[in-house]
Every structure is written in C-alpha cells, then in structure tokens.
Structure 1
Amino acid sequence: MKSMSSATTSSHTIYESDNDQDYSMDAMSSAKTTHNLHKSVLVIGSGAAGLVTAQTLINDGFTNVHVFSKDSQPGGVWEHNKVYSGVFINNLYGDYRFSSMEMPRHPSRDPKSTRLSAEDMQFYFEKFTDTYLRDRISFETEVLNIRRPKPPFDSDPLNWVVKYRKRGMREAFRERGFHRIVLCTGGCHKPRIPPAFSPSAVHESGFLGPVLHSSEFRAKLDSIFSAVQPSDNHRSLHSNVPRIDPYLPSNNSSADDHAGGDGKGVVVVIGGGKSAQDIAAYLANEGHHRNVCMIYEKTDAFIASTSQLSDRIRRSRLLGVLSPHSELRTPLERFLHKTWLGGKTVRSIFEMASDYSFKAFQIPPDSPLRLCQNPFWSLRVNDEVCRRGNSFHVLVNEGQIHIEAPARAVGFGKDGRSVVLSDGKIVRADAVVLATGYESSWTDLFDLQTINQVGLGKYPPQYVPLDSYDEEWKKYTSLRDPPPAPPANQMWMSCIYRGIVPARNLFKRDLAINGAVFSTNNGYVFETSAHWISSYFLEDSFLEIPASIKDAVQSTERTSAWLRKRYPDMLHWTNESHSSDIQFWSWPQYTDDLLRDMGLRYGKARTGGNALTWLFKPIEVEVIKDLSKERAALRMQSA
C-alpha cells in the first residue's frame, strides 16, 4: 500500500498508512486471498464486539489491523471507568466469553456467587486484550468522521479516510486512510437526553443539583454524594426496617417543606430500564443508603426463580424454539407457532414464567413493579436468575426505593429542587440521573450524505409494499393479539444485511458491523459474526451472499417486516447502531444462518444432541473455537 502523505490538505491533516506484516500467511490459497490480507482494516471500538473482531481478523492472517478506542481501557460499557460494584449482567458466571479464553476469576469475586458481574466483565476484557491484542489498540483515540476519499486515487486506492483526535495530541486532528472498516461502536455510546432535561434546560430552570446521564454515573458519583447525604433509613439484612416515607411534596407546597423523609435529600432516577434499576439499587443499598425515587411509565420485565434453572433451559435452544422466528425449520417449531394448541402452549409458558418470577420475588399484585413489559413481546427482559436479598426488586418491596409509576417526568420545578410529572405532581430532587437510553453512535461518525450512500439509516420500502409479507406470517398462532404498534414502526427498521453489512454497500466489501445485533448471547453471536466478516473481507468463494444489491435490500426489507410483526411495540425504542437485527431469544437460529452462509456445520450437527435431546442440549461456546481452521480448509478446497 502506498503512502498518502502527499495528500495532506492542511497543517492539521496527516494521511498515514502502515505496512506492518508481523503475522505469517501460511497455507493461503490464492493470490486474491493474499492481496486481501494485506488490506488495512480499522476496527472502531474496544468493547466485546471490537475485541473479538480484531482477534479473529489477526488469527486469519490479516496483517494490518488497527483498533481505535475512545476509552482509556478495553471493555466498552464495562470499561474500568464505567463500572461500579453491585451490577450484575444477564448471564451466569462464565457464560459471556469467547471460545479462545476461559473467564479468569476476579480477585475480589465471591467464589460462592454464580452471577456474572460488571467487574467480572471488565476483568475478562482486560485479560483478553493483554493476551491477544497487546499494542494493537490505540486508546483515547476518538474517531470524529469517516468519509470516502476524493480523487485522484493512487494505484492502490484507500476506501475510507478517518478523521480522529488523540487525547493530548498537539494537532487538532489527524486523518488516516484505511481500506476497510468494522463498526463496533455499539448502541450505548451517545446518550439520549430529553429536551426538557438538556443542559440548556437545566440552566434555564435554575435547578441547583447535578443532572447527569446514566453513562456518566460512575465518573460523576462524587457530585451525587455531595448533593445527597446518606439516609438514616438504611436497610439491614438482619432486621425488619420501616419503609421510607414517600418524600413527595404536595402540589401546594415547595420542595423546601419536605426533606426526603429524613432531611438528607433525594436522588431522582428517570427511566425504568436495567441501568435505572442498577443505579437506584446501588444508591439505596451498596453502603451509601441515599434516598432514591425512580420515575417510569413501564419498567423492564424479568425472569427469575427460587433456585437457579438448569443449563438445559438457560443455555439450550429451548427458548429460541419457543420464540417465533421468521423461518420455522423444524416440525416442532411449526407445531408451536402454526397450530392452535402450539400457540396457546407458547404464550402460556411465557405467562407462567412471568407469574412465577413475580412470586419468586414476592411482589404484591398492586406493586408498581408489575407495570412492566410483556416478556413475550418485549426486548426489555432481564435475567435475575433467582432472588437476592439486596436486589432492586427486593429493595423496592422493602420501601428502600420509592417508585412513581406510571408517570413521566416533564421538567424541573420552579424552586430549583424538584421535578414535575405529567400529572402535575412535584417530586423532591436534589440530584437527577437520566437513564433515558442512547441514540445511534453512527450519526456522529458519518455525515448524512455518506450514511445515505452506504445505507446505514432507516428507509421506506424500495421494492415491495409495507404489507407485502403480512400473508407469510398470518398463520402464526403464537403471534395473535399483539400489542398496538406506534406509527414510527411503519418506517423500515434498517437496511443492514444479516445485521452485518449495509445492503447497498454489499459488493464494495469495505464496511462491516459487529455488535449491533440485539441478542441474549452476545459472546457467541459476536464471535460467529466476526468469522462471517473475515470471510466477507477475504472474498471467500464459499461465503454465500445475495447475488445482487436488489436481492440484498429485499432480504433486509423482509427482515424488517418480520421484526415489526414480532416486536410491534419495541422498534421505536431501539436505535440503528443497536438494532441492525434483533435476534433476542432466537440467537441460535441466527448463528445457524451465519454458519450456513459460510458453508459450515450448523444446528445440532454443531452443537450436539440427537432427535430426542437436541432441544435441551446446552450450547457451549467451544463448538465455534475452530471456525478459522474450518474456513481455511474450505478455502484450500476451493483453490
């Protein structure tokens, strides 16, 4: 690859290229493969998807792989500066990992605990990076813009110019050329802040306390602790404690007339998702004992039991088969989703699981915790495994977290120490945490013209009417009586083929995405996707992709139509960079599709089991450990 240094356009613009070839290319099958291995690849992001993508590319022989990360350490949402104690992931210990590395035990981990914590994840990704990607990641390097280069091109044209800024760098920015890019920026990068709680709204209202997004919670804990002192109503696991006062001023009084039950102030958490629950529980429980009020219209659904469920339920294909999929490939799936008895059985199982979860946590019928999503129709479902004495739901039951629901916060009060709800109620607030979700991370990386050229946005149908696929899934009895869909769902969700490649850009083979498919088994999905991306960049002849752009776009339109059918009330809540495809319960079927695309073993042929046991066979990540070797063998056969 030739240097682009002659293309410098200003004193702050430096085009760079590298020719480091420190990995061997033994047994490469063709000149085309060797040529592709020399192409420079930039992986943007050092979260789980970015790390396994970079490792896979390097293992496959790519000689010029770089990772840019805005963070100072690896881990993404579990990066060192974002993690705080008491947060548990929706997995058991050891479930969320990659095939090349077992999960090492965190030094402070309780050996009796089976839950996977955020600190475990942070520790794992740091060890993974140190083992496989040392000196490959440029930390504290923020990508500002990605664009196509302008002519003239050299004999080996670069496909992308990346503008970036490194913390502490003298230049305002630099620009560097790359042949290929993998977006691993995820959907938890750019905070979504309602206009009523924006920095300008805070300033205009005269609110006196800190207002921060949940993404800043760990970094700005001290500001909350300064504004809200520990409560005298702290809980004890060994005694019965009184429920805290609601500390809600009446409509005719000011917040100064009420002191949060004990004069120590109140933290208001706006939102009902997992981040909101984790933050509220941390403040109320983890040794700090702040008064906490949580405001939401609906909270996340959850699954739990009185004891830990077997891996034959938790990690098998069972939940994937019980959840309807766009392709019903087995007789059992067709029975469950296309017959009256099967549809009743599926819905009953989800309803019983939800009811049993409420009973496991002893949640009363009139509790605001029952104002939650329906676990069958929703993507907002948490795995609580089994009852813990200091969990969010227990704290709410005991009155240590006050809930205002169903309610919506609409702005700040006039006294500078309160939040106003949509019904006019005033809630005391000395600090506010906005657990209000995230926007797409792609809009800051590309200008609108590039987004539309590549096909990263949301688009109306191009080839078929909106209702063209309705007849295909009309006979799904398990999908009868769905929740109402908001008008926003009438826009196509995305135009990303397999959730990995923008359909319009399919044959350029210079852009891919990992980490944007919404699933409940990220480790397995991200690693399988990384191999698909590697074969795509290598132009492996055995990788099956659509024959034309039209075919690719039509495939994404069908997928989007299915998602509107499957999750009618959810698509307005997601963002593009976190929902290029949604394979929530159905991740086994999705990864089977990726393996089938690559001409590899899939289904029970890979994960094990026979005609009687395949449904309950736990799926281990080790079954995809040798995908690089399997793909190399196919490459040699096709040479």
Structure 2
Amino acid sequence: MPLPEVDTAQVKREPVCIIGGGPSGLVTAQVFLRDGFQNVQVLCRDPHVGGVWSRDRIYPNMTINNVDGEFRFSAHPMTPPPDSTLTGGRLRGIDVCRYMEEFHEKHLRIPSDGDAKNEQPKSIVRFNAEAVKITRSPNSKGWDLLVKDTVSGETETLYFPRIVLCTGGASVPVFAEGLAPKDAVKAGFTGPVFHSSDAWPNMMTILDSVGVQEKPDPDAVPGADGHKSVVVIGGGKSAQDFSAYIASQGVPVTVVYNKLEIALAVNKPLPRAIRQSRLMSVFSPHITLNTRIERFLHTTAAGAKMIRKTWERMEEDSHDVYRVPKASPLRITRSLFWDVRSGDEGVKREDSFVSLVMKGKIKVVAPTYVSKYTSRGVETTEGEKLDASAIIVATGYGSSWNGMLDDATMLEIGLSQRVDSNALEEFKWNYTTLNNPPDLAPVPTFPDGTSKAPGLYRASVPAKTIDRRDIAVNGTMFTSSIGYTLEVCANWISAYFLGEAMRLPDSPEDATRLTLREFAWSRRRYPEYTGWQNPSVTSTTPFFCAIQAADEMLEDMYLPSMRSGGNWLTWLFKPISIDELGTLGEERSRKRGETNLNKLQ
C-alpha cells in the first residue's frame, strides 16, 4: 500500500533538528530554509562549522580529493584556490573551511525577533552543542535529544518531531586492537601516542619528543643514528598527509602499512571534459546500466577488456609520474578498480608523501602490520622492532552514531539491520568487468549467523520505518562527487518530509528488500571493502558512479536527470556543474503548486 499522506503545512511549521555542522548538515539546513521550513535548528558540537574541515581540524598541508567546482553547493560560489592553473584547481583544507564558514554566514542566518534592520541576523546553528543521546519520545512520535554544552558540560533534553543525522564518519577515532595509548603505557613506552585525528592539535608535543626546536634538520634520515623518529601506523590519506608534513619539517618518519591507499597523479591538470564529466562514472560499473555504452563496456568481453586496461593504465601512470620502481613498497597498494580506498592527488607535488619517500625523507616498512608496542617503539608481525619517540596511529574511525544511539535503537529505527548472507543470493549481476574478483573480505557474524548491514534506503531514510517520515540521514553515500550528491540528498530528504509526489517503495518491506539489493551490490562491486560496518559513513558505495546515483534520486522526485546535457555523441564528455542543481528549489516548488520560494537561499 502507498505511504501515508502528509500535512505539508504542518511539517513546515514544526521544528526540525539537523545534527551536525559539517557540509551535509549545512546544505540540508539551507535547502530546508529555502523550501519554507519555519523552525530549523542545527546542532554543532564544535565552535565552528565545517565538520572535518572546521577551523580546528584542518592542518597545514591538507589537500582533498576534489578540485574547484566539485565541493560546493549551488546556492553559493566558491573562490578558486591559488595557483589553480598549475594545480588544476586542487582544493586545500583551508579552501573548504572558508567556504563552509561563508556558506553559514550567507545562508544560515535569519532575522531575529527584534528589529531586523538594527540587529545581526541570528544563526540557526547552535555551537558547542553535542547530541549525546537520541531516543523516541514516550508517545512514539518524534524524538527526545539529550544535548550537552561542550563548554559548560550542562545538559538539557530537547524535543523534535523530525531529525536529520549529518554527523559523518570521520569524527570518532578508533585504535586497532592492542594499539590504544593504554597499551603503549603497559608496554613501557613513555613517548606520546596519538590517533591521527588528534596529532595536529598536539604537534608541538610530537616535535618536542623528537627534539625538534626552531630549526629542524632537513637532512635527517629515518632511523639514522642520533636521530629520533616518529612512527606512523597506517597507509591511508591521514597517515600519508601527517608523515609528509613532519618529514618536510626535517623530522625522521617511518610509516608502517600492509597496503597503501593509492592516489591518482598526473603531470599536468586533466581537462574538465575528462576530470569533471561522466567519463569516469561510465567506466565504473553501476548497480543499473542505464545507457547503451555502459551495457557494452560492462557486459561484453571487448568492453571488459577495455575497462580493465584503462584502470590498470591509470594505476601505472600514477606510479610512473613519480618514477616509482617496480619493486618499491609504494606499489603495494589497494586496487583502484576493486576498492574505494583511493585518492586523487592531481598534479605531482614535490612535498607529497610519494615524493618524500622517493627522496628518502620517509622510510616505509611494508607489507606488514604492527603487532604490539615495545618499551622503545613498536614491533611488526614479522618481529621487526622500530624505535620511536612518538607514535601516530592512523587506523580509521568508528561510527559517530555510537553513544547517541545504541545498537538496539538503531535496529529498531532501521538505521542498520541484520542480514543472512543467503538473503543476498537472489541478486545477481552478470557483468564481464566483475569477473575474477578478489576474495570477499570476512565480516563479523552474530551467534545466529547473521551480520550487520546498512538499513538506509537511498542512503537517506531507514527502510524499516520509511512510512513514519520522522528521521533521515545525509552524508552516508560514499561518493567521489561530494558536493553534488549532498545537495541532491538534501532535496530528496526535504521532498520526503514534505510528502511531495515521489517514486518511493510502497511499503517498508519493499524498501528493505531494495536495501538488501544495494548491500549485495556493494559486496559484489567492492568485495574487499567493509567500511559499511561504520553505518554513519557508508550505507551505499556508488563512489565513481556518484552521478548515476544522484540521477536516480532526481528521478525519484520526478525531476530531470542527466542535467549536464549533450547529445548522443557529446553527453559523456560534458562537464558536470553543481550549478545545474540551482533550480531544484523552483522545480520542486512548482511541483507542490507553490509560486514563491523562501527568499533565504
């Protein structure tokens, strides 16, 4: 049966809470205000907006995997970063930080209750406010939020009929088993041990531990006699960024990893027709092949051969840019095709991780794992002992929902579910490009043989309770086109809350079956990736196929998709622009039969 109808006017009057002050929370709030929601509140646990890119979290050499035009929203332009011509518009952490602050000032302030002409517009963001517990209200309608002031420590309970979780998945550091700071203390190690997320605020402590004062030694060699070293555990972006920064400060660094996160690199910027078009998305298989060229590439022998060669060439070219030797541990990387743990470095940089390894400024020990701490540093699984003055653990993040929501509540709401692997067997994709995959990564199971799986439909609403229209999520679609997908998701959630005409499953059961299909696809497409076990960061993994996933959500709202245009010959190379989403508010307003949008856009 169809989902219940909605009193749109009542929904707009009632308060809605957006939990999280990062990009997903900001754009969701802006879209809600534009659509006429009259009481929008954003809870931000930090003193600044931006989330991972807030002013307190960015670090000096921080670059991201996006270029100018990809990490912004249609309501507000972004100032191009410096040296755009040389770098291809590569964005730095500070660029995203400043943009999010500007976006907040421009779009998330509303006139106060007093004289709007004489008073500063009031921000809808409540800073230093952390949602520490979320429960359904006793009458099972709406939500009670236990909110803590992170400065005073005081708490209060707030009620909201609807909430949107926008807390992300890179804010709760996790130490690998046996590698927590307390384990180092037990082993007798007396130097500092930090997770990579806490390393930047504690930089002076780390530098002091290695004896670096005002003038570091630029010729220091990792492990050389007389030089104290920092050991970094992990091969992801945060491990690479941190080790590159302190190595550039003259600090000897040793990085230990099993597999390195490969970063695409080029000698000169790629043209927008390649870098920002649908080309990469078509060269990656999607859960549904909607065009003739996709079906040719992914279901024929000739197409599969072309696809495999293309991805292998991209990997090889990235190594060749830095002239990485065939036997180098820098080539012990995760597959660019079969894994989502990869990056986009863009134009070759002399201060990058790979550059500094090639110059001998960073020592690499791979492939291996750190098995334990010692009184002098760490020991690998092969028994190699590495001395260290400081240790940085870059072993990932846990779900930001832990603590706010217990496992039972997440299952009850439908944010996650338990799945029998046999239930996934009905979903098949006979793609030639997916032949001969790597082994499926093992996952923890419960005593009944089931395992944890995402429960969100379209990465936005719990399938189990889709008919309630009282909770949504933005930011759990793992994609390479963050700005575009976050804005489309925000519009999708707004339309869902307002009860607009949408292509939705007829029942929670139908929605749940579709989440199982999506989960089966994630396991088929990226068999080695298990990031979906962190439900706050990954509920679906379209990754390079982000634009196809966004198109499907636009079609759910009965809005035009493939908005970048082009004819049968050129559509594949037409650059995608977030500005093409700028009319979504007007289009949806007309669909609702409304003539005027809220002027706060």
| Equivalent position to 1:584, from 524, 540, 543 | 543
Q: Distance in 2 between matches of 1:458 and 1:31?
A: 27
Offset of residue 528 of structure 1: 0.5
Indicate how the Cα distance of structure 1 residues 423 and 544 shifts in structure 2: closer, same or farther if over 3 A, else same. same
Offset of residue 44 of structure 1: 0.6
Instruction: Please tell me whether the aligned partners of residues 372 and 378 of structure 2 are also in contact (alpha carbons under 8 angstroms).
Output: yes
Q: Deviations over 1:164-215 (max 9, x none)?
A: 11133363x1101001110001110211112312233133222111111111
Instruction: Please tell me whether the aligned partners of residues 72 and 139 of structure 1 are also in contact (alpha carbons under 8 angstroms).
Output: yes
The answer to whether residue 160 in structure 2 is matched with residue 201 in structure 1 is: no
Corresponding residue number in structure 1 for 2:435 = 480
Offset of residue 111 of structure 1: 8.1
The answer to whether residue 321 in structure 2 is matched with residue 360 in structure 1 is: yes
> Unaligned stretches of 5+ in structure 1?
1-29, 152-156, 236-240, 248-260
Q: Deviations over 1:580-600 (max 9, x none)?
A: 111100011100000000000
Q: Distance in 2 between matches of 1:495 and 1:485?
A: 21
| Equivalent position to 2:165, from 180, 183, 194 | 183
Q: Distance in 2 between matches of 1:444 and 1:97?
A: 31
Q: Distance in 2 between matches of 1:626 and 1:504?
A: 32
| Equivalent position to 2:68, from 79, 93, 106 | 93
Corresponding residue number in structure 1 for 2:25 = 50
| Equivalent position to 2:302, from 333, 337, 341 | 341
Corresponding residue number in structure 2 for 1:73 = 48
Counterparts of 1:309-320 in structure 2, within 5 Å, are 309-320=270-281
Corresponding residue number in structure 2 for 1:321 = 282
Instruction: Please tell me whether the aligned partners of residues 48 and 127 of structure 2 are also in contact (alpha carbons under 8 angstroms).
Output: yes
The answer to whether residue 181 in structure 2 is matched with residue 224 in structure 1 is: no
Q: Distance in 2 between matches of 1:95 and 1:408?
A: 35
Counterparts of 1:1-12 in structure 2, within 5 Å, are none
| Equivalent position to 1:454, from 387, 402, 413 | 413
Identity of aligned residues (%): 37
| Equivalent position to 2:148, from 143, 165, 169 | 165
| Equivalent position to 2:348, from 361, 367, 387 | 387
The answer to whether residue 271 in structure 2 is matched with residue 283 in structure 1 is: no
Indicate how the Cα distance of structure 1 residues 420 and 284 shifts in structure 2: closer, same or farther if over 3 A, else same. same
Corresponding residue number in structure 2 for 1:257 = none
The answer to whether residue 467 in structure 2 is matched with residue 467 in structure 1 is: no
| Equivalent position to 1:265, from 208, 228, 246 | 228
Instruction: Please tell me whether the aligned partners of residues 566 and 574 of structure 2 are also in contact (alpha carbons under 8 angstroms).
Output: yes
Corresponding residue number in structure 2 for 1:612 = 569
Corresponding residue number in structure 2 for 1:139 = 127
Indicate how the Cα distance of structure 1 residues 492 and 323 shifts in structure 2: closer, same or farther if over 3 A, else same. farther
Instruction: Please tell me whether the aligned partners of residues 441 and 577 of structure 1 are also in contact (alpha carbons under 8 angstroms).
Output: yes
The answer to whether residue 593 in structure 2 is matched with residue 632 in structure 1 is: no
Equivalent AA in structure 1 for residue 574 of structure 2: K
3-state SS of paired residue (2:8): helix
Moved over 4 A (4+): 108-113, 231-235
TM, length-normalised to structure 1? 0.86
Equivalent AA in structure 1 for residue 179 of structure 2: F
3-state SS of paired residue (2:437): coil
The farther-off stretch of 31-40 and 557-566 is 31-40
Q: Distance in 1 between matches of 2:435 and 2:216?
A: 47
- Count of residue pairs brought into register by the alignment: 571
Counterparts of 1:510-529 in structure 2, within 5 Å, are 510-529=470-489
Equivalent AA in structure 2 for residue 528 of structure 1: V
Equivalent AA in structure 1 for residue 436 of structure 2: D
The answer to whether residue 504 in structure 2 is matched with residue 545 in structure 1 is: yes
| Equivalent position to 1:303, from 242, 264, 272 | 264
Instruction: Please tell me whether the aligned partners of residues 86 and 268 of structure 2 are also in contact (alpha carbons under 8 angstroms).
Output: no
Offset of residue 158 of structure 1: 4.9
Instruction: Please tell me whether the aligned partners of residues 461 and 472 of structure 2 are also in contact (alpha carbons under 8 angstroms).
Output: yes
Instruction: Please tell me whether the aligned partners of residues 461 and 557 of structure 1 are also in contact (alpha carbons under 8 angstroms).
Output: no
3-state SS of paired residue (2:274): helix
Q: Distance in 2 between matches of 1:551 and 1:569?
A: 28
Instruction: Please tell me whether the aligned partners of residues 222 and 252 of structure 2 are also in contact (alpha carbons under 8 angstroms).
Output: no
Instruction: Please tell me whether the aligned partners of residues 83 and 118 of structure 1 are also in contact (alpha carbons under 8 angstroms).
Output: yes
3-state SS of paired residue (1:96): coil
| Equivalent position to 2:579, from 611, 614, 622 | 622
Q: Deviations over 1:288-338 (max 9, x none)?
A: 211111000001122122111111111111111110111111111110010
Q: Distance in 1 between matches of 2:361 and 2:196?
A: 20
Q: Distance in 2 between matches of 1:533 and 1:573?
A: 21
Q: Distance in 1 between matches of 2:502 and 2:74?
A: 22
- Work out which of the two has the higher radius of gyration on C-alpha atoms and give 1 or 2: 1
The answer to whether residue 35 in structure 2 is matched with residue 60 in structure 1 is: yes
TM, length-normalised to structure 2? 0.91
Q: Distance in 1 between matches of 2:343 and 2:151?
A: 40
The farther-off stretch of 397-406 and 113-122 is 113-122
Q: Distance in 2 between matches of 1:245 and 1:443?
A: 41
Equivalent AA in structure 2 for residue 145 of structure 1: K
Q: Deviations over 1:356-402 (max 9, x none)?
A: 11111111111111000110001011111121111111000011011
Offset of residue 110 of structure 1: 8.1
Q: Distance in 1 between matches of 2:261 and 2:382?
A: 22
Offset of residue 109 of structure 1: 7.6
Equivalent AA in structure 2 for residue 502 of structure 1: P
Corresponding residue number in structure 1 for 2:382 = 423
Instruction: Please tell me whether the aligned partners of residues 486 and 572 of structure 1 are also in contact (alpha carbons under 8 angstroms).
Output: no
Q: Distance in 2 between matches of 1:366 and 1:636?
A: 64
The answer to whether residue 440 in structure 2 is matched with residue 505 in structure 1 is: no
Q: Distance in 2 between matches of 1:229 and 1:185?
A: 38
Corresponding residue number in structure 2 for 1:533 = 493
Corresponding residue number in structure 1 for 2:195 = 213
| Equivalent position to 1:375, from 330, 333, 336 | 336
Q: Distance in 1 between matches of 2:532 and 2:455?
A: 18
Instruction: Please tell me whether the aligned partners of residues 252 and 361 of structure 2 are also in contact (alpha carbons under 8 angstroms).
Output: yes
Offset of residue 79 of structure 1: 0.8
Equivalent AA in structure 2 for residue 621 of structure 1: I
Q: Distance in 1 between matches of 2:47 and 2:326?
A: 46
Q: Distance in 2 between matches of 1:555 and 1:615?
A: 28
Q: Distance in 2 between matches of 1:109 and 1:533?
A: 37
Instruction: Please tell me whether the aligned partners of residues 461 and 492 of structure 1 are also in contact (alpha carbons under 8 angstroms).
Output: no
Q: Distance in 1 between matches of 2:313 and 2:327?
A: 18
Q: Distance in 2 between matches of 1:178 and 1:65?
A: 10
Q: Distance in 2 between matches of 1:35 and 1:125?
A: 30
The farther-off stretch of 93-102 and 490-499 is 490-499
Instruction: Please tell me whether the aligned partners of residues 160 and 179 of structure 1 are also in contact (alpha carbons under 8 angstroms).
Output: yes
Equivalent AA in structure 1 for residue 520 of structure 2: A
Corresponding residue number in structure 2 for 1:10 = none
